[in-house]
A and B are shown apart, each in its own frame.
Chain A
Amino acid sequence: MKINWGELTKGIIRENPIFVVVLGLCPTLAISTQTINGIGMGIAVIFVLACSNFLISILRNWIPNEVRIPAYISIIATFVTIVSLLMQAFTPDLNRALGIFIPLIVVNCIILGRAEAFASKNDPFHSILDGVGMGLGYTLAVTTIALIREVIGSGTITLQLAGVGPVIDLRKYISDPAVVFILPPGGFIVLGTLLAFFQYIKNKKAAKKK
């Protein structure tokens, strides 16, 4: 079997689920108030994406078309529950910070989207690649947003998980953080600006082609 590594890399930049396809927004804006939240959520999403893509791909020829959506949802929900239980047991502080957005990974359009668009039509190995790639792209996006929001909004970079890790304090350089950035409006502003940036690049590329 020929391995197409492009399936892994496409999700990171070119088809980045948040910046390019603009899916799965709800948790992205809600939890991106601390950098570690972005990383934690990202890892959870990678896990769910990889596992569900894998299982769905294996079963793709067996699941009848009429019930495919409920089937995919059950599988995804199962892995989300597993992640949730693991987080409750091993990283309770992250679990509390991410709150209801952990169970909400189930309805994250990215996961169902990849199941429908890719895993249902491709072999298990490449489905895992696709899942991991998209998950990595997602993690990159959320963490970037969280980093920006946290630095401007609280003047810190929190990388602490289960009591381990640094909390970098930048308040000697940033004397008065703009609190609005860790509040809801800030989320919209940061994502909107980043989207504009990506659209700018897209426009430039299209102009070059002409």
Chain B
Amino acid sequence: MDVNKIFTLIVSAIFINNFIFSRFLGLCPFFGVSKRLDSAIGMGFAVTFVLVMSTIVIYPVNYYLLVPFHLDRFLQIIVFIFVIAAFVQLVELALKKLIPSLYHMLGIYLPLITTNCAILGTAFIVVYEKYTFLESVIFAFSAGLGFTLALVMMAGVREKLQRAKVPKAFKDLPVAFISAALMSLAMFGFIGLVK
């Protein structure tokens, strides 16, 4: 097992190619949920969980079911999204029974995880980059962490922005975008971190 490659993978997924600030995956919930810190954390964990679990299921489905029959050329999209949708449904039911407080806090954003570009995007990245199973899972987990990190950072900033004097036209969403721009710029500092 190449430790260096795994380390690069993790650091790259969390910082350098951060899903939100660099790859632009997962933006819709990003701007919708990041207003408050607690919902941001909850969403981050939920997304990380779905990311890892769906990758674990999609990987064998792709490589043992689709590819051997050459079905991946035209059934990949529909099969992947089905797996994700089914999985999110399961998570919804499970949360409703086990952690109802989280279920109610996430509200409508929970089923919306299905349409989170980050989940489907990860599945496709894993396929394009030809990661091994272990690499895929580590990648999914790191990507989720990066996503959570971005959400939390954003929530912290937005909570403060609510009370700041922002020009009327920029209030709420536009200034959030500008803040995201600055954070994205800051992420560039990490590029030299891994060779």
**Interface positions of A (Cβ within 8 A of B):** 22-27, 29-30, 69-70, 73-74, 77-78, 80-81, 84-85, 100, 103-104, 106-109, 112, 180, 183-189, 191-193, 195-197, 199-200, 203
Q: Does more than half of chain B's interface fall in helix, strand or loop, or is it mixed?
A: helix
Q: Are B174 and A192 in contact (CB under 8 A)?
A: yes
Q: Which of A70, A103, A193 has the most CB of B within 10 A?
A: A103
Contact segment of B22-30, B54-62, B136-144 = B22-30
Q: Are A85 and B24 in contact (CB under 8 A)?
A: no
Check A81/B74 contact, CB under 8 A, given A106-B81, A203-B169: yes
**Interface positions of B (Cβ within 8 A of A):** 21-28, 31, 73-78, 81-82, 85-86, 111-112, 114-117, 119-121, 124-125, 128, 167-171, 173-178, 180-182, 184-185, 188
Q: Are A203 and B168 in contact (CB under 8 A)?
A: yes
- With a CB–CB cut-off of 8 A, which chain A residues contact B28? 23-26, 109
Chain A proximity of B192: nearest CB distance (Å): 16
Shortest Cβ distance from A191 into B: residue: B177
Partner of B26, one of A26, A27, A84, A197: A26
Q: Does more than half of chain A's interface fall in helix, strand or loop, or is it mixed?
A: helix
Q: Are A69 and B85 in contact (CB under 8 A)?
A: yes
Check A200/B77 contact, CB under 8 A, given A25-B27, A25-B31, A70-B85: no
Chain B proximity of A109: nearest CB distance (Å): 6
Q: Are A73 and B177 in contact (CB under 8 A)?
A: no
Compute how far the CA of A203 lies from the CA of B168 in the bound complex, rounded to whole angstroms: 8
Check A78/B78 contact, CB under 8 A, given A185-B181, A189-B178: yes
- With a CB–CB cut-off of 8 A, which chain B residues contact A184? 21-22, 24, 184
